[in-house]
Amino acid sequence: MKITKSKELYERAIKVLPEGVSSGSRGPLNYKPFPPYMSEGKGSHVWDVDGNEYIDWQLSFGNLPLGHAHPKIVEIVREKIASGSHFASALDVEVELAELMVSILPNVDKVRFTNSGTEACMTAVRIARGLTGKRKVLKFEGHYHGWYDGLLVSSNPQPWTTLGHPNDPVRVVDSSGLTPGSWEDTLVCVWNDADALERMLQTHGHDVACVAMEGVMANMGVILPRPGYLKRVEELCKHYKVLFYLDETVTGFRIAPGGAAEVYGLKPDIMSYGKALGQGFPVAAIAGPSHVMDSIKYGRVLHYGSNNAHRLGLYCAKTMLQELLLDNAAGFKKMNAIGEEMTQRLNQVARDVGVNMRVQNCGSMFHPVFTDQEVITGYRQFCEHVNLPKYGEFTQHLREQGVFFTGTKTLHNVACTVHTHADIEKSIEAAGVALERMKSAK
C-alpha cells in the first residue's frame, strides 16, 4: 500500500490545519499515523491520492445513501449550478422538498432547513426552551447531538469507574470553553431505562423543556432501544409536560423513510435531521407539528442563516429522496438488507476465527465492537466492556486490504444502495484476514 502522497500532504497539513483536518474525528486520533487523503469517490468505492482503492463503508459519516457521484445527483448538480448556486431567497425546491418530507415523516407539519446536524439540534433545544419557558434539557449518557455547548455533556466514553451511580450520573463536560450555564442546564440520565427517566422527571420535570435523545444510540456503536422503551419515553414526556425531541440526524432517511419515529411508532414533538438528508451536501432540518414549528415564526425563537436551504443541496436532497422512495421505498430496503448481511457475515467470521468481536446493527447501520459481552445494551456496559483500541487495529488492517470502515471507534458504519455482492464478499474476506492477524499478534 503506497502512502507517499498522503504522508506529504499530512506534513503540509499539520502546519496550517490543527491536526491536519477540519473535524477532529478525521485526523490522527482515529487514523494512525495520519489519514489517507481521499481524492475520488464513485459508487461504493473511494480512492486516495496515492491511488489506493477502498470499499467505502464510512460513506461520509452516513451522508451518502446513494453512494458517491450517483448519476442522478451528478446530473442535477450539473444542471442547477449553471443557473446559480444559492440565492438566499425563497425557492421552489424548498417548498417541494418540505412537502416531500412532510408526506413521509411521522407527526411533521412543517420543516425548517439549516446546514448541519449541530445547528438543527441547537435550534431544536432553543425551540423547546422558547415554547415551554423552561430552561433545562435532559439528555442521555453516551448520546451525541453535535458540538453545541448545551448538549456537550457526557457524550464520550469514560472509564466506567468514573460514571457515578446510575440514579445520579456524573455529568462530564466534553470540552473546555463551556460556560457553567451549559453544564448546569443540562441534566443527564441513563438511557434504555424508563424508570430512571421517570425518577428524573418526577424531580425535575417542572424545569425541563425537552428530553433529547437519539432513537438508536449511534455514537456508541449501534445500541438498540429495548422493546417498548421509546414509547414509554414518549408517554412520560406527555405526562410531565416535557417536549420529546428525537434527534434523527443519523437515523433519519437511513433506517426507514420516516426514520426511528416510523420504525418505533413514535410521534415526537421535535425532530432534527442531517447527514443522509443532504446526500453529501450540507443540508439539515428541524421538523415537527405546526404548534411547535411556528414558534420560530417572525424570530420569536430566533433561527436565521445565510446558507440555510442551499439551492444545490436541496436539489440533491430531493433527488436522493425520490430515488430512495421508488418502488415502494426499495432503496431503504436494499440498504437495510446489505447492513443486515454485513452484520450476520461479520459475526460469523468472528466466530470462525474465534475472536470476541460482536456486530450490532439497526438496518443499514452496523458496528463491530470487541467485547466478551453477548450484547451491548447501554453506555455504561460499552464503557466497561468494549475494547476501543482493538477496533482501531481492526480498521487499520481492513484499510490495508482496501476496505474502509470508519476509524472513529465509537461511531458506526453504513451501507448504501450501490454496495454490491462483490463488495460484501471482499469486505468479509478482509475482515477474516484482519481478525487472523490480530489473533496471531497476541
Ligand X SMILES: Cc1ncc(COP(=O)(O)O)c(C=O)c1O
Which residues are at the interface with ligand X (CB under 6 A)? 116-118, 121, 144-146, 214, 218-219, 247, 249-250, 274
Closer Cβ to ligand X, 255 or 355, answer by number? 255
Nearer to ligand X, 116 or 132 (CB): 116
- Cell numbers linked to 16: 496550517
In which element (H, E) is residue 432 found?
helix 421-440
CB of 285 to ligand X, least distance (A): 11
- Max intra-chain CA distance, the chain: 64
CB contact set of 164 (below 8 Å; sequence gap of 6+): 170
Cell of 325: 422512495
Q: CB of 112: closest distance to ligand X in angstroms?
A: 15
Q: Measured at CB, which residue is nearest to ligand X?
A: 117
CB of 274 to ligand X, least distance (A): 4
How far is it, in rounded angstroms, from Cα 39 to Cα 255? Answer: 29
* Residue number, 60 or 107, with CB nearest to ligand X: 60
Residues 6+ apart with CB under 8 A from 442: none
Name the strand (E) or helix (H) holding 6: helix 4-16
| 9/151 with CB nearer ligand X | 151
Q: Which is nearer to ligand X, 335 or 349 (CB)?
A: 335
Smaller CB distance to ligand X: residue 305 or 402?
305
The answer to whether the beta carbons of residues 288 and 220 sit under 8 Å apart is no
- Is the distance from CB of 188 to CB of 154 less than 8 angstroms? yes
Closest to ligand X by CB, 68 or 275: 275
CA angle 326, 261, 412 (to 5 degrees): 80
DSSP state of 36: P
Using the minimum distance from each CB to ligand X, give the nearer residue, 415 or 434.
Answer: 415
Using DSSP, how many helices (H) and how many strands (E) does the chain show?
Answer: 14, 14
- Compare residues 118 and 417 and give the one whose CB is closer to ligand X: 118
Least distance (Å) between residue 288 CB and ligand X: 16
Choose between 250 and 434: whose C-beta lies nearer to ligand X: 250
What is the smallest separation between the CB atom of 52 and ligand X, expressed in angstroms? 26
Separation between Cα atoms, residue 343 and residue 360, nearest integer Å: 7
Would you list the DSSP string of 325-390?
HHHHHHHHHHHHHHHHHHHHHHHHHHHHHT--EEEEEETTEEEEEE-SSS---SHHHHHHH--HHH
Least Å distance, CB 275 to ligand X, is 6
What is residue 152's three-state secondary structure? coil
| Closest approach of ligand X to the CB of residue 61, in Å | 6
Chain centroid, CA 208 distance in Å: 25
Which of 370, 337, 321 has its CA nearest to residue 72?
321
Quick one: 9 or 152, whose CB is closer to ligand X?
152
Give least dist CB 25 to ligand X, A: 8
CB of 24 to ligand X, least distance (A): 11
Distance CA 331, CA 322 (A): 10
Q: State the nearest-atom distance from the C-beta of 430 to ligand X, in Å.
A: 26
What are the residue ranges of helices labelled H in 171-269?
Answer: 180-184, 194-204, 229-239, 259-263
State which residue, 61 or 332, has the beta carbon closest to ligand X.
61
Q: How many CB atoms lie within 10 A of CB 189?
A: 24
DSSP designation for 184: H
HSE toward the beta carbon, residue 386, CA cutoff 13 A: 27
Nearest-approach distance from CB 435 to ligand X, in angstroms: 27
Least Å distance, CB 404 to ligand X, is 18
Length, in residues, of the chain: 442
Residue with cell 421535535: 270
